[in-house]
Amino acid sequence: MSSFRPFDSGVPRDPDRAAARICGAGPDGRAAAGPGGATIERAPSVRVAAARRAGRPGTRLRGLVRWLAGIGLALLAGGAPAVAAQMPPTRVFIIHGYGASPSDHWFSWLAQALERRGAAVTILDLPRPDAPTPETWQRALREQIAEPDARTWFVAHSLGGIALLRYLTQAADIRRIGGFVLVSGFNAPLPALPQLDAFVVPDLDTPRLVRMAAQRIVVAAEDDAIVPYASSRHLAEALDARFVSVARGGHFLRSDGYTQFPLLLGLIERMPGFMR
């Protein structure tokens, strides 16, 4: 059965108040951070037996017993043997869209909010955003994204969304990622921007994307004048993704009032598996 779940928020244009209504966050967009990772310290070493007695009958067994007893005492005292290395951090890559840069709109705000929660965040810097080509953007994605895995998450805006999907389907070595959120995502020609038609992927391998990313969200505004609302909805259906609908949000640009995006932050934090 499809997991496609339309979500109509009825959000006012003020993104801070919208997030407070939908995500349970305050107007400042702050949410309680999860617990930090504990540091594992090495337990005190325990000497088993003197080397000169190692060959005597029963010495090895008695030494093993004393060694195990020492480990037990160390654990009771609050220590722990140094075992596996700490788990690598959650990585988030933010991908801007047409005519934008890493410092535009809500990108830096979101990066700082996620970093405060312990994620390692990179905002990609894609070449010639005012005159992009699929080839140059794909090359930049390959160069700036290192070995995505199950602890890697993506947030892409507008044209950055279809560029991300093309990258994921073309990379033969990517088996699993944590998930992605596409803001004003599309995979169809845009009447307002015909110069971007080359980015559209008619034969997009959506089954592979569904297998690759367990968590998939598409966010769209009903009054988006750049990406038709129906285009974002169709993309969500093709990806079997959760569809989050905002009544008034435009294209989620600075000019639409989006220098912060608490709604998006709340959606990311609540994605199963994020920061775990």
pLDDT of residue 276: 75
Q: Could you give the angle at the alpha carbon of 234 between the alpha carbons of 230 and 239, nearest 5°?
A: 150
pLDDT of residue 227: 98
**How distant, in Å, are the alpha carbons of 31, 183, 219, 267 from that of 28?**
9, 21, 20, 15
Separation CA 28–CA 33 (nearest Å): 14
Count the Cβ atoms, other than its own, within 10 Å of residue 86: 9
pLDDT of residue 67: 52
Separation CA 23–CA 260 (nearest Å): 14
More confident residue, 85 or 186: 186
| pLDDT per residue as tens digits for the range 217-247 | 999 999 999 999 999 999 999 999 999 999 9
| pLDDT per residue as tens digits for the range 57-114 | 444 445 444 555 554 544 445 544 443 457 788 999 999 999 999 999 999 999 999 9
pLDDT of residue 70: 53
Which whole number is the average pLDDT over 164-177? Answer: 96
HSE-up (13 A, CA, CB side) for residue 148: 27
Which whole number is the average pLDDT over 252-257? Answer: 98
pLDDT of residue 275: 86
pLDDT of residue 41: 29
The CATH number assigned to the domain with range 6-36+89-269 reads 3.40.50.1820
pLDDT of residue 87: 75
| Burial environment of residue 74 by CB neighbours within 10 A (0 to 12, 13 to 18, 19 or more) | middle
Which residues are tagged catalytic? 158, 224, 251
Question: Which pTM value belongs to this model?
Answer: 0.71
| Burial environment of residue 146 by CB neighbours within 10 A (0 to 12, 13 to 18, 19 or more) | exposed
Separation CA 169–CA 176 (nearest Å): 11
Which whole number is the average pLDDT over 31-58? Answer: 35
Separation CA 39–CA 24 (nearest Å): 32
| φ, ψ dihedrals at 168, nearest 5° | -65, -40
Domain residue spans in the chain?
A: 6-36+89-269, 40-85
More confident residue, 65 or 52: 65
Arithmetic mean of pLDDT over the chain:
80
Separation CA 150–CA 118 (nearest Å): 16
pLDDT of residue 137: 98
More confident residue, 58 or 149: 149
Q: Closest Cα partner for 93 from 161, 43, 175, 188? A: 161
Separation CA 219–CA 242 (nearest Å): 8
Distance between first and last Cα of the chain:
27
More confident residue, 27 or 15: 15
pLDDT of residue 118: 95
| pLDDT per residue as tens digits for the range 120-129 | 999 999 999 9
Residue 26 has pLDDT above 90, yes or no: no
pLDDT of residue 85: 53
